[in-house]
Amino acid sequence: MAASEQTFIAIKPDGVQRGLIGPIISRFEQRGFKLAAIKLTSPGKAHLEAHYADLSEKPFFPSLIEYMNSGPICAMIWEGRDAVKTGRAILGATNPLASAPGTIRGDYAIDVGRNVCHGSDSVENAQKEIALWFKEGEAVSYKAAQFDWIYEKP
Ligand code: IDP
Ligand code: MG
């Protein structure tokens, strides 16, 4: 498990409008993960349908796309050891009412259709999502000053 594993994390339109960009970023920063890319974007319906293509047959798909298209999204790449799985743990369960307190959804959300954030569910999907949301060269490569204080071994 390399310390360079990357995951795609997005703050959905409700999270942006509710002023939760700062608190959500803080949780990833404080855990020790490194921000590799960030932008505020409204990518449009076709892009959002591609992002959620696996869910296109679900009855909630149209309302999900409408929700995601209702305002800007804060799209990010976070990097670190086991970033994908740990990122999901930081977000909490899909349904906020089933999310443990201390997780983002468990602290800030109630309805599944307003669950504030997205995180990749596998390393393979993280790579696909990063390629969908970011252009080549948008992710920044650098050594975080705190690296040797976070990791015993690279
Ligand atoms: P995840 O975001 O935890 O990975 P997914 O199953 O991939 O969950 O679903 C993607 C998003 O679709 C969820 O975050 C949520 O916003 C929405 N969603 C999932 N299930 C439902 C549902 O039953 N009703 C309404 N929206 C849903
Ligand atoms: Mg998902």
CA 34 to ligand 1 centroid distance, Å? 26
Q: Which of 56, 60, 68 to mutate to test the pocket of ligand 1 (most atoms within 8 A of CB)?
A: 60
Is residue 94 in contact with ligand 1, taking CB distance under 6 Å?
A: yes
Query: How many separate domains does the chain show?
Result: 1
Q: Which residue segment(s) compose the domain that 29 sits in? A: 4-41+75-138
User: Does 109 fall in a domain?
Assistant: yes
3-state secondary structure of 90: helix
Distance separating alpha carbons of residues 117 and 50, to the nearest angstrom: 17
User: Does 61 fall in a domain?
Assistant: no
CATH number at residue 134: 3.30.70.141
For residue 142, CA distances in Å to 4, 35, 79, 106, 148 come to 11, 10, 11, 32, 13
Distance separating alpha carbons of residues 93 and 62, to the nearest angstrom: 21
User: Does 118 fall in a domain?
Assistant: yes
pLDDT by residue, tens only, the chain of 154 residues: 789 999 999 999 999 999 999 999 999 999 999 999 999 999 999 999 999 999 999 999 999 999 999 999 999 999 999 999 999 999 999 999 999 999 999 999 999 999 999 999 999 999 999 999 999 999 999 999 999 999 998 8
pLDDT of residue 154: 82
Is residue 60 in contact with ligand 1, taking CB distance under 6 Å?
A: yes
Is residue 112 in contact with ligand 1, taking CB distance under 6 Å?
A: yes
CA 94 to ligand 1 centroid distance, Å? 6
User: Does 59 fall in a domain?
Assistant: no
Residue 118 appears among annotated catalytic residues: yes
CA 105 to ligand 2 centroid distance, Å? 14
pLDDT of residue 27: 98
